[in-house]
Amino acid sequence: GQIIAERRFVEAINRQAYQYEMGDFPTEWEAWIRKKRNDPPTIEEILKNENYREDMKQKIKDVSKKDKLLQAKEYKEGLVAEPVHTQVKGHASAPYYGKKEPSQDPTSTASTFQPGSWMPQGSGSGHNK
């Protein structure tokens, strides 16, 4: 009087079972093993879905290529502004952000304080006092 749950599995042919990774099986078989579908897939169904996925990938490539060409044309004609490329030189919370040498002036950045540095006279830093 005991109900035994159905077990679904796939036998490994070319590799040991532990060598298989996600994506090695067609998604239709994965769905059947995980009981997301009732009937096992047919070869025709797997091939049809694979061809559909390849067609979609190709269509996506074509559309993105056309979009890039259209975008380049709009940039050239001046209809759309080109994106600005920002050059990052340091981090804003660094005590010497944007400075290459210590300064006689004290600096404060975020929660840090850097006192001014002593500079000998004639050191060429532009501070002649």
Which residue ranges make up each domain of the chain?
8-41, 42-83
**Alpha helix stretches (DSSP H) within 15-128:** 27-33, 43-77
Q: How far is CA 61 from CA 28, 48, 55, 58, 64, in A?
A: 25, 20, 10, 5, 5
Name the phi and psi angles at 71, rounded to 5.
-65, -40
The SS3 assignment for 125 reads: coil
Tens digits of per-residue pLDDT, 101-124?
666 677 776 677 767 777 777 655
Provide the pLDDT confidence category of residue 27 given band limits of 50, 70 and 90. Answer: confident
Q: What pTM does this model have?
A: 0.48
pLDDT attached to residue 87: 62
Tens digits of per-residue pLDDT, 66-89?
999 998 888 888 777 777 766 666
